[in-house]
Homo-oligomer: A and B are copies of this chain.
Amino acid sequence: MRRARRRGLAHEAADRIRESILQGTLPPGAPLREVDLATRLDVSRGSVREGLALLERDGLVVSEWHRGARVIELTPADVDEVYTVRGALERLAAHRAATRVTDTHLAELSDLVDALDRALSDDADAAELLRLDLGFHDLLYEIAANTRLVRAWWTLRSPVHLFQLTRIRRCHPHYRRDSVEEHRTLVDLIRRREADAAGRCAEAHVAASRDALIHMLGTDTPDTGPTDTDGGLGRLT
């Protein structure tokens, strides 16, 4: 079993802040002031500072010298960048997964796709669909069994999460049945150990997500702002 490692306040703080960002309490572009966060989270500025550095590594936050940290913005150009790189990574992940997958893994993958299918039929919460989708891809990277690849994925995962979340928030879920079918196709290719085809399939899947996302961001309303305007983290106090 994996050892339950202690992580320190900085990680804890980072988790709380990440939660708030991913819940929309801290909207894109919002400033992340150290003293404010330190007060609300009841830790020192140093820990908050370190936590913000962690979030910057996750790609959820950008910071400039003497200007502090802000939640990243979500321009279509960013979507393009993130999903382009993600496509390359996921291609590699699928390729490797197809050559090293075990029966246990295959069962887990199938279970996730089934769960996704069921959730879609049950008209489940959009957040739940997103959770399952991300879980599927997490598992794919885990099967690929390459530490650096997983780390690279984690630097993209948070932005992806955020992108999908704003998409959900702005329009109706629209979680396509096509998408679930793409997942199932990928699992089948992996089961048959067709590495090259699996890689191409994964890359195409990501590209499809990217195009759908960009199309949505390009044609939506100019965004009149989030529902609450208190600046965030009120629920954490």
Contacts and interface: CB of A to CB of B under 8 A. Distances in A.
Interface of A: 5-8, 46, 49-50, 53, 57, 59, 64-66, 81-82, 84-85, 87-89, 91-92, 96, 146-149, 151-152, 155-156
A152 B155 CA distance: 8
A92 B81 contact: no
Contacts of A148: 59, 81-82, 84-85, 155-156
A149 B84 contact: yes
A152 B57 contact: no
A149 B86 CA distance: 9
Given A84-B146, A88-B89, A88-B91, 13 more contacts: A53-B53, A57-B57, A81-B147, A81-B148, A82-B148, A84-B92, A84-B148, A85-B92, A85-B146, A87-B92, A88-B88, A88-B92, A151-B155
A64 to B, nearest CB: 8
Nearest to A53: B53
B149 A152 contact: no
B85 A152 contact: yes
Contacts of A84: 92, 96, 146, 148-149
A87 B89 CA distance: 10
Contacts of A50: 49-50, 53
B152 A7 contact: no
A152 B156 CA distance: 10
A6 B65 contact: yes
A22 B92 CA distance: 29
Which of A49, A66, A96, A149 has the most CB atoms of chain B within a 10 A radius of its CB? Answer: A149
Contacts of A96: 84
Nearest to A95: B88
Contacts of A85: 89, 92, 146, 148-149, 152
